[in-house]
Amino acid sequence: MKTMPPSPLNRIGVVGGGAWGTALALAALRAGRETLLWAREPAVVEAMSLRRENRDYLPGVPLPDALRVTGDLADLGGCDAVLLVSPAQHARSVTARMAPLLKPGAPVVVCAKGIELDSHALMSEAVGAVLPGGNPVAILSGPTFAAEVARGLPTAVTLACADEALGTALVAALGSRTFRPYRSDDVVGSQIGGAVKNVLAIACGVVEGRRLGDNARAALITRGLAEITRLALALGGRAETLMGLSGLGDLTLTCSSLQSRNMSLGAALGEGKALAEILAVRRSVAEGVYTAAAVVGLAAKLGVDMPICSAVDAILNRGAGLDETIDGLLSRPFRGEGV
């Protein structure tokens, strides 16, 4: 294997011992970085440190001895950059706990995808609100199933950072032949695709479970992209970002594969299972369940029309029936195709 070049951001901390945190830790190791993975649950820390496998969230992937695992947030104090990979609804509280322990100036790269339910805050806002001013925030988002990244399969992501020099340093620190970050300065736009695609993937899963066909799925992806773009523009993001890896790329991936937890949850709903029944047998997070209500609240505040997301929220949170909700979408007035 080619030796990766040295980086001033050599010590990478990864916060979150789920599937994505573990896969990103492996990607950082492959990029040649010293990597420390923090997990919340002692049993997960122990399994990864001693048995060298994350059996709960990423089974079957051996963890090299070079990957250090800890349950102590204070260990992050030695890291030059931290990847925050806790689920979106916990990102703020985990950041608040680690904030006083971070090295001054160390960037926090948010890798969670979602919008806060209570505040309707984007992840950069939620995390930025509890970080000391000197610790900048960046975003890593894109079409990235954790299991594929963990196996070293080729993957590309958007890495967004307002500070160009820091963005370039993060790309150099995390990038490798098979994990290819593309730099952006659109911190807002790069978060919207990853958050909203999870809601749209639930809709596409319903289409799958209800056997409504591939045409319907393509229609949802395309009109879903229009919803994502409208929201991003209203928040100050750029349309071109939504045509990139964090937008169209992630939307296409997540809405086309039952590997997606969100799409498979939608498929189970479409087959007639109740949400509580589906969630009862899952340990892994399906962010769209929470983001649906958050995005509908945020869109209402901004006056942005998001009919597909509203339909998903109605099914998940407001007891709406599947068939009448689908009928409601199909009965909307015809309109022009533009965003």
Ligand X SMILES: O=C(CO)COP(=O)(O)O
Residues that bind ligand X (CB under 6 A): 113, 143-145, 198, 201, 250, 253-254, 260-262
Return the one option of ligand NDP, ligand X, none that residue 87 interacts with (CB less than 5 to 8 A, by type): ligand NDP
**Secondary structure of 5-44 as H, E, C letters:** CCCCCCEEEEECCCHHHHHHHHHHHHCCCEEEEECCCHHH
| Choice from 9, 61, 135, 145 touching ligand NDP (CB under 6 A) | 145
What are the C-alpha distances in Å from 105 to residues 28, 138, 245? 20, 13, 28
Query: Does residue 40 bind ligand NDP (CB under 6 A)?
Result: yes
Quote the tokens at residue 212: 């409504």
Task: Give me the amino acid identity at 33.
Answer: R
| Choice from 81, 83, 94, 263 touching ligand NDP (CB under 6 A) | 94
Stretch that binds ligand NDP, among 10-18, 64-72, 130-138, 296-304 (CB under 6 A): 10-18
Which residue from 95, 97, 94, 113 is spatially nearest to 20, judged by alpha carbons?
113
Provide, rounded to whole angstroms, the least separation between the CB of residue 201 and ligand X: 5
The DSSP annotation for 258-303 comes to TTSHHHHHHHHHHTT--HHHHHHT--S--THHHHHHHHHHHHHHHT
Q: Nearer to ligand X by C-beta: 13 or 266?
A: 266
User: What is the contact mask toward ligand NDP in residues 48 to 77, using x (rule: CB under 6 A)?
Assistant: ---------x--------------------
CA angle 277, 92, 236 (to 5 degrees): 100
Query: What is d(CA 279, CA 268) in angstroms, rounded to the nearest whole number?
Result: 10
Residue of 2, 103, 197, 301 with catalytic role: 197
Stretch that binds ligand NDP, among 73-81, 86-94, 166-174, 320-328 (CB under 6 A): 86-94
Contact positions with ligand NDP (CB under 6 A) in 255-314: 284-285, 287
Query: What is d(CA 30, CA 50) in angstroms, rounded to the nearest whole number?
Result: 21
Q: Is 197 a catalytic residue?
A: yes
Contact positions with ligand NDP (CB under 6 A) in 146-185: 146
Whether residue 18 is annotated as binding a ligand: the answer is: yes
Whether residue 21 is annotated as binding a ligand: the answer is: yes
CB atoms inside a 10 Å sphere around CB 222? 12
Whether residue 270 is annotated as binding a ligand: the answer is: no
- Give me the sign of the Cα torsion angle 53, 58, 60, 65: negative
Query: What is d(CA 155, CA 79) in angstroms, rounded to the nearest whole number?
Result: 25
Q: Nearer to ligand X by C-beta: 144 or 191?
A: 144
Binding region for substrate:
113, 261-262
- Which chain residues interact with ligand NDP by CB under 6 A? 16-21, 39-41, 44, 57, 85-88, 90, 94, 111-114, 144-146, 284-285, 287
Q: Which residues are catalytic?
A: 197
